[in-house]
Structure 1
Amino acid sequence: MCVIWVCDEEEHVLATWQAPGSCPYCGGAIIGADVQRAWRLCFVPICFSGRRRRFHCSFCNRPLVAVS
């Protein structure tokens, strides 16, 4: 019996910018990024998710969550 995983998730960074504020852990600058995800099944795109904004610290590289 053989199991082959043929699904893949690919992320593309569309744009980056410096966000206002500083990292609560180390005080470094915050970088924002617009990311688009695509699910693929046997190299054929089956689903594109919209643009998502992600934030992370440029010094310690921790992902940060924006609270609205």
Structure 2
Amino acid sequence: MRLIFVCIKETRELGRQAASGSCPHCQGKVVAVDIESKWKFCCLPISYVDKRKYFCTLCSRRLVFCGFD
């Protein structure tokens, strides 16, 4: 007997807003995007994760903030 487990990751964009600074690659404007990730196991929600990611508006690269808190 074989069991097949199905895990699905759904992502949804919650909002966008302008961020300070410029892209180090092309000097374009930076935008902050709030993203919600939802993991489902056989149509049952397992976890929800909200993240903020930064992207350049000109070259569409994902930018990583390496600051110290």
Question: 2: distance between equivalents of 1:34 and 1:10?
Answer: 14
Question: For structure 1, which segment, 18-27 or 4-13, has the greater mean C-alpha deviation from structure 2 after superposition?
Answer: 4-13
For 1:4-63, what per-residue CA distance to the aligned partner results, in whole angstroms no more than 9, with x for missing partners?
Answer: 6621111111111010111000111101011111101122211112x2110010111100
Report the equivalent of 2:61.
Answer: 62
Report the equivalent of 2:15.
Answer: 15
Question: 2: distance between equivalents of 1:35 and 1:55?
Answer: 11
Calculate the aligned-residue CA RMSD, in Å: 1.8
Paired residues in the alignment total 66
Amino acid at match of 2:30: I
TM-score by length of 1: 0.82
Question: 2: distance between equivalents of 1:57 and 1:3?
Answer: 43
Q: In percent, how many aligned pairs have the same letter?
A: 35
TM-score by length of 2: 0.81
Question: 2: distance between equivalents of 1:32 and 1:26?
Answer: 17
Name segments (4+ residues, structure 1) moved above 2 Å.
2-5
